[in-house]
Amino acid sequence: MPNQTDHNAAYGFKWAGLSDPALAVAGSDDWPTVSVQRTATSGPGSAEPEAEPEQVGEDAASIQTLAARVRLDRPSSKLEIRAPNALPVADVIHPVLWPAAAVFARWHEHETFHAGAVSFDGHGAWAILGAHGAGKSSLLAMLALEGVEVLVDDLLVVAGKRCFAGPRCIDLRPEAAEALSIGPDAPLVRSSERRRLTLPPCSGEYGLRGFLHLQWGADVRLERLLPVQRLPLLLDHRRVIGLGADFEHVLDLVALPVIRLTRPPDWHASRRLAADLERSLFELQDPQLLNAC
């Protein structure tokens, strides 16, 4: 990994006006820059918040997140975050930043997925897809605790067949943090609803090797999906619907392996599986084993 690490980069963009260890990625010198302005909506001298419809257009967007209103301007590459003075920077990093990053990414003709990603060798990445409640963040945390490089937890931005790292953290529900023995040293974030597992700095870009789709079931099973199954799955996990899809790009991604991982909702089984996931994915790429799937 390159030695120099920025402290204001994630999702393929540099965020001028934000600086935090959670935005520490390397190799982002050539990434486009978005200027970030934070506007207080409460406190002395603050502007009163006005009713504003959500909209995502070709040149501007306004999105209400759980913590703040974000306004985006494409021509000037500006992001305004309107929130109370008390909004912690940790909440700006997540969950406020990713919706803005997703829109800017689509404006730059990248694809965006509701996905995490990991790299077992520091070069290639596997995207991890899962519906809400499928255990994506907890699996990523398990892999991080096994020493696997976790690139991103919530938004995967893909340019061609390369993907970008996100903020260096994973937010876990209290029960997941307890099951993974993540103790009180991990900070509480998002109004004390999550424990934040800090990730080390990493490289900013990785080649995308394939997708891992998570679902719950009675038994552990890994199966490679056919192309006819891959396309609707990838389309279903796209992040920014309002700006349309680059179907040529998505079809190129369909050529990559998509492997479905079914496993029971059992913490011990999941941790054993996480520890052996690299070997399992490698075996599923072996042609002889693929013919048997």
**Per residue in 179-201, pLDDT tens?**
999 988 899 888 778 999 999 99
Q: Do 143 and 253 lie in a common domain?
A: yes
Among 110, 132, 148, the domain boundary falls at 110
Q: Do 192 and 73 lie in a common domain?
A: no
Check pLDDT > 80 for residue 286. no
What's the gap between Cα 281 and its chain centre? 20
Domain containing 176 equals 113-292
Q: Confirm whether pTM is higher than 0.75.
A: yes
Backbone phi, psi, residue 73, to 5°: -125, 115
Q: Do 102 and 154 lie in a common domain?
A: no
Greatest CA span in the chain, whole angstroms? 68
Identify the residue whose tokens are 């301007």: 73
Q: Do 33 and 146 lie in a common domain?
A: no
Residue 118: both structure tokens together:
């990991």
Q: Do 140 and 216 lie in a common domain?
A: yes
**Per residue in 65-75, pLDDT tens?**
988 999 999 99
Check pLDDT > 90 for residue 258. yes
Q: Do 153 and 42 lie in a common domain?
A: no
Among 110, 138, 163, the domain boundary falls at 110
Q: pLDDT-derived band of residue 47, with 50, 70 and 90 as boundaries?
A: low
Q: Do 151 and 212 lie in a common domain?
A: yes
Among 54, 82, 110, the domain boundary falls at 110
Sign of the C-alpha dihedral computed for residues 48, 54, 55 and 59 taken in this order: positive
Q: Do 136 and 268 lie in a common domain?
A: yes
Total tally of structural domains belonging to the chain: 2
Q: Do 40 and 62 lie in a common domain?
A: yes
Q: Do 173 and 187 lie in a common domain?
A: yes
Identify the residue whose tokens are 């900013």: 204
**In CATH, what number is assigned to the domain containing residue 263?**
3.40.50
Q: pLDDT-derived band of residue 290, with 50, 70 and 90 as boundaries?
A: very low
